[in-house]
Amino acid sequence: MRAFFHPDQHLHDPKQFMRVGRIADPTDLPSRTEALMAALTRVGIAPQVPEDYGTAPALAIHKPHYLDFLATAYERWVKLPNAGPEVLPNVSPYWNGSPDRDGRPPCRSSHVVAEAGYYLGDLAVPLGPQTWRSALSSTHTATAAADAVLAGERLAYALCRPSGHHCRTDRASGFCYLNNSAIAAQRLRSRFAKVAVLDVDAHHGDGTQEIFYRRADVLTVSVHADPQIYYPFYIGYADERGSGEGEGFNLNLPLSAGSGDEPFHAAVARGLEAVAAFGAEALVVALGYDSHREDPLSVLSVTTDGFAGVGRLIGAAGLPTVVVQEGGYQVSVIGDCLERFLTGLAG
């Protein structure tokens, strides 16, 4: 297995995070990648630095005006009188988030405060001085892993940070600025006629769902905590099946609060059955550890060993697979979770 990581991904260092009405300490810290790098060392994998792909892979998924905002917002923000240390919205437009609606036009106002409200979907995506650089580097990591599989590797791991699965074509949210899993899936489509994305993060992959919701060539499957009680709340329900040509090619498998290893594994197995029925030729796994019972954001109760079971199930599918890192915020356990997952994946 080959793995990829760019050191610039460490640079994103958020200072604030709004949670239930309070400014909380951020959970997406650079120390997350250090723990995951240590786990790779323990299993004998030395990550490679990806090449610089520029913005082309991101533009295959995201709107140009959205990338322009990410690239320029911080410099414009700090020029405002009394600006805070990071770009965060204080106004938001009303927009129906249903994935079967047409995409949004560019923001009508070019003021950075207006654009912050338009392109940042919540208060968990602060833009700091290095956020754009880190997020773009994260897309390079995902692209390099996809290219490794395109070149014949059966398994490749993209240690992405910031994460990506909540990011839509033109909206950041939930610690996610560019959708690495979607970028990897789109890259794989250059060779494979059918690609599946299996998201096993505790949070529904709403951005990935929106991106592929009208397409029949990419199946999206998400195993996650029930959105009735858990972020992202407004999307991720079992009746969301795709739209137009994509109808029937989205599968959501919500889990009730407190679900542990057994229901988690059963849902992953069901998702893999859908992947097989779809006839996927390659697989992207959006891997998060925030379903772990010790995660500070978790409402699920998956154990560390539970991730070995997930890895075994995915490995048994036998598909060329890109594993893209998503969430998981308890630094003391995420390295062990990755180690168990990779051991299970390799059989």
Q: How many residues does the chain have?
A: 347
Distance (Å, whole) CA 229 – CA 241: 20
Among 166, 204, 224, 292, the one annotated catalytic? 166
Distance (Å, whole) CA 137 – CA 143: 10
Distance (Å, whole) CA 19 – CA 14: 14
The CA distances from residue 78 to 57, 74, 130, 162, in Å, are 29, 6, 13, 22
Query: What is the SS3 assignment for 187?
Result: helix
Using the 8-state DSSP alphabet, how is residue 292 labeled? Answer: B
Are 54 and 78 contacting, i.e. CB atoms less than 8 angstroms apart? no
DSSP sequence for 257-280: TT--HHHHHHHHHHHHHHHHHHT-
Q: Are strands 155-158 and 321-325 parallel, antiparallel or unpaired?
A: parallel
Helices (H), 55-130: 56-59, 64-77, 112-119
Distance (Å, whole) CA 80 – CA 77: 6
β-pair partners for 176: 173
SS3 content of the chain, % helix, strand, coil (to 5): 35, 15, 50
Distance (Å, whole) CA 218 – CA 264: 23
Nearest Cα neighbor of 253 from 202, 327, 187 is 202
Residue type, 28: D
Instruction: Answer left, alpha or beta for residue 170, where phi above 0 means left and psi between -120 and 50 means alpha.
Output: alpha
Question: Is residue 166 annotated as part of the catalytic site, yes or no?
Answer: yes
Are 265 and 233 contacting, i.e. CB atoms less than 8 angstroms apart? no
The torsion angles phi and psi of 321, rounded to 5 degrees, stand at -135, 130
List the catalytic residues: 166
